[in-house]
Amino acid sequence: MKKTIVLTGGSKGMGKSTLLKFAENNFDILTCSRKKTDLRLIGDEIREFYPNINFNSIDSDLSDKTGCDKFIDFVNSNTDKVDVLVNNVGTFIPGELMNEDEDALEFMINTNLYSNYRVTRGLSKIFISQKYGHIFNICSIASKVAYENGGSYCISKFAIYGFSQCLREEFKKFNVKVTAVLPGATRTGSWDGTSLPDERFINVDDISNSIYAAYDTSPGATVEEIVIRPQLGDI
């Protein structure tokens, strides 16, 4: 029987790379993004190279509860089992705590924490019932190391890292693994226009390969954290 991955924010960057990696390993896919056109492109690519994969997607903005509920209903209406959940949705707005827009913290907590919290809660009955599965939360090196101009982004990423630790403790008894993924600067669209060479960044495929390797461990083992940083240091 084929396995199923649910991944939020799957149209670009780390999300897209992760979907392609799991499609390569014969996983059916349920994903979302805010833009239908982006979802159509990744869907077409997966169907071309992996025609046996069932790819289902929906446009949804997970920065608010209505969008989360929309995606949860979509997943529950399309599958009764989830082998892997990757909470990938997130955003970054630079700024200092005392100078950033006063709405910055609320927006990034909603996007970087509440979205992942709500989706996990909405699908938790599946994991508890089937008594297996693996949840990956895409955190950041900023979940452990605050940096200048990180502001509310760092706060939100510290929060999802704490969420991962709590979730791991609660889900142990259900045989569900939880892994926090903490990448440093990764070459995604958010770095477009930089003068730094690509070699200065982590490649998105390094993240997706590491996620799959952590998933592909024996039942008795859990990779609790994946920390990947640029070889020459953080940017």
Helices within the chain (DSSP H only): 13-24, 36-49, 65-78, 104-109, 115-130, 151-171, 204-215
Closest residue by Cα to residue 6 from 68, 51, 50: 68
What does the alpha-carbon distance between residue 167 and residue 17 come to, in Å, rounded to a whole number? 25
Bridge partners of 86? 7, 136
Joined tokens for residue 45: 């690519």
Bridge partners of 227? 182
Closest residue by Cα to residue 32 from 63, 157, 109: 63
What does the alpha-carbon distance between residue 116 and residue 92 come to, in Å, rounded to a whole number? 15
Active site residues: 153
